Amino acid sequence: MENKSQSRRISASDDVEVSTYLEIAKELRGEQLALEPKIPPSKRETVVVIDFGSQYSMLIARRVRECHVYCELVPYDAPWERIASLNLKGFILSGGPASVYNTGAPLAPAYAYESRLPILGICYGIQVIAHQLGGMVASGAKHEYGHAVLHISDEDCPLFAGLPSSFPVWMSHGDEILEVPPGFKALAYTGNSPFAVIGNDTNIFGLQFHPEVAHTPQGKNIFQNFLSGICGCRGDWTPANFVAEAVDKMQRQVGNGRVICALSGGVDSAVTATIVHRAIGNNLTCLFINNGLLRREEPERVLSTFERNLKMDVAYVDASERFLERLHGVTDPEMKRQIVGEEFIRVFEEEAAKLGEVNFLAQGTLYPDVIESSTTTETKASAKIKSHHNVGGLPAKMKFTLIEPLRYLFKDEIRAVGLALGLPEDMIWRQPFPGPGLAIRIIGEVTKEKLEILRAADWIVMNEIKKAALYRQLWQSFAVLTDVKSVGVMGDYRTYGYLVAIRAINSEDAMTADWSRLPYDLLARMSDRIVNEVPNVNRVVYDITSKPPATIEWE
């Protein structure tokens, strides 16, 4: 592709990073990692989480996967056919906002009980079990939210194997069980809940508390006990056998077809492309579009990783000028996003057309995106705050069949898979970076000069954060170029330069975030270096706002 040889180098300007990068590259050269044998889906032990709309449902699925048991989250009204082909080992009923005695309250499907497999009901899930199997649930006199201490009354219950006789748990419920169903008994209690854990001898259990949240420190043991001790799972779901299975599936699906995959530099598209490449080799073409809004040395790193180390065919397109022209004079953040999204699609279309017949488009869709769009037990009304343009959303006239090998994985599993595939650590652990890139970190019009200033300041921030060994701990850390100019003094001269803001935040999922309490020394070093090393910047501020009310990005 055009400009292929342009700027292919790893700079030596950053000793720390380049040396680790090269070490990893050396280790990787030509290496193919041994993979464990694949477990076909019909044999893969699976636990199904029936979703009643709790904010924690996805967390339950993650906890199960952390115990190395494959798990799927399905809506409470999913038909049996949806899960019939799985090698089912048990069910978990999630929490949810409803009350069982309200008309139309969601209930567990009959097949969950008819299967005779173990069931674990959590919060609303325990009430569903009590209600459907003949117990009594009522609105609790005392609502219970927050910390409680659980006291075990049946030490022989396999759910509690290896646990102390009392431990802290996290409660969050309004309704409570007044009477357990026939055949059930109380297995543990808290100060406010005599039936905090119930069970019968056909392996149906209910927990009134949330074992999936961090505030229940023994929660993971409870899941482990349920999965191995009660469901009898071996716990052999690993990243390596995921890769083996995904490769096999893709070979069957794609055959001799050709696949295109757009790389962004992030971990999702990198892992997607690497899996597809394992499956079909050079019938995959990766497309890497440089929109001119990337950080310093990013294009070089991406190309070097894929071409040199992973030996993959990458079509590199330097479209910087096109994007910059379209952004000329634009100051509105939403317009910037729209322009970058549209231009990306145009370039993608043009480049894909040059490749001749391509049948498949590989995309790094993750499980949370899939769940978001499929399990809608609650109406999600959300105001449009910022429109996000990712690689998705290509026009319908492009007739590709979509392949999404990461569709059933969480972010941390994708990282583990990436490591199993031999991707370099700096790619695996890269902090999230928005599709519109530096365009939304430059306030006001995007120009070449401003991009250079921001790249230089951002490089210093990243460098210092990495040297302080904070890069992985922070959700994101970056520089913003404001459109404020202020007066300063350097030597005998007055200066009139830009104001740069530093943003460093901690977050679990980007929905909420807290500003990071970075050490003063580190802030001082970043500030000194930015004003000394970056021309036209004479003032640095640190953003100490959380989300909400602010957002992570400034635009």
3-state percent helix, strand, coil for the chain, nearest multiple of 5: 35, 25, 40
**Cβ(283)–Cβ(443) below 8 Å:** no
Which residue, 334 or 445, has its beta carbon nearer to ligand XMP? 334
Rounded CA gap, 204 and 113, in Å? 9
CB of 11 to ligand XMP, least distance (A): 25
Helix H, strand E, coil C: the string for 208-274 is CECCCCCCCCCHHHHHHHHHHHHCCCCCCCCHHHHHHHHHHHHHHHHCCCCEEEEECCCHHHHHHHH
Which residue, 109 or 434, has its beta carbon nearer to ligand XMP? 434
CB of 390 to ligand XMP, least distance (A): 5
What φ, ψ does residue 138 adopt, rounded to 5°? -140, 165
Which residue, 386 or 525, has its beta carbon nearer to ligand XMP? 386
Rounded CA gap, 261 and 272, in Å? 8
Task: Give CA separation, 220 vs 151, 174, 226, 432, in Å.
Answer: 17, 24, 10, 28
CB of 150 to ligand XMP, least distance (A): 36
CB of 443 to ligand XMP, least distance (A): 13
Known catalytic membership, residue 389: no
CB of 432 to ligand XMP, least distance (A): 4
**Cβ(505)–Cβ(550) below 8 Å:** no
CB of 386 to ligand XMP, least distance (A): 5
Known catalytic membership, residue 231: no
Rounded CA gap, 59 and 510, in Å? 15
CB of 387 to ligand XMP, least distance (A): 7
Which residue, 143 or 388, has its beta carbon nearer to ligand XMP? 388
Rounded CA gap, 79 and 92, in Å? 16
Known catalytic membership, residue 210: yes
Which residue, 244 or 465, has its beta carbon nearer to ligand XMP? 465
Which residue, 54 or 390, has its beta carbon nearer to ligand XMP? 390
Which residue, 200 or 290, has its beta carbon nearer to ligand XMP? 290
Six token digits for residue 43: 């044999």
Query: From the candidates 67, 71, 123, 231, which is the catalytic residue?
Result: 123
Which residue, 88 or 552, has its beta carbon nearer to ligand XMP? 552
Query: Which residues pair with residue 488 across a beta bridge?
Result: 495
Helix H, strand E, coil C: the string for 433-465 is CCCCHHHHCECCCCCHHHHHHHHHHHHHHHHHH
Task: Give CA separation, 481 vs 440, 454, 547, in Å.
Answer: 10, 6, 19
Q: Which helix or strand (DSSP H or E) is residue 51 part of?
A: strand 45-51
Query: From the candidates 17, 144, 176, 212, which is the catalytic residue?
Result: 212
Query: From the candidates 173, 210, 277, 389, which is the catalytic residue?
Result: 210
CB of 145 to ligand XMP, least distance (A): 27
Residues that bind ligand XMP (CB under 6 A): 337, 386, 388-390, 432, 434-436, 476, 510, 547, 551-553
Six token digits for residue 226: 């349920």
Query: Is the previous residue joined to 548 through a cis bond, with omega within 30 degrees of 0?
Result: yes
Rounded CA gap, 489 and 514, in Å? 33
Q: DSSP string spanning 448-508?
A: HHHHHHHHHHHHHHHHHHHHTT-TTTSSEEEEEEEEEEEEEEETTEEEEEEEEEEEEEE-S
> Known catalytic residues?
123, 210, 212
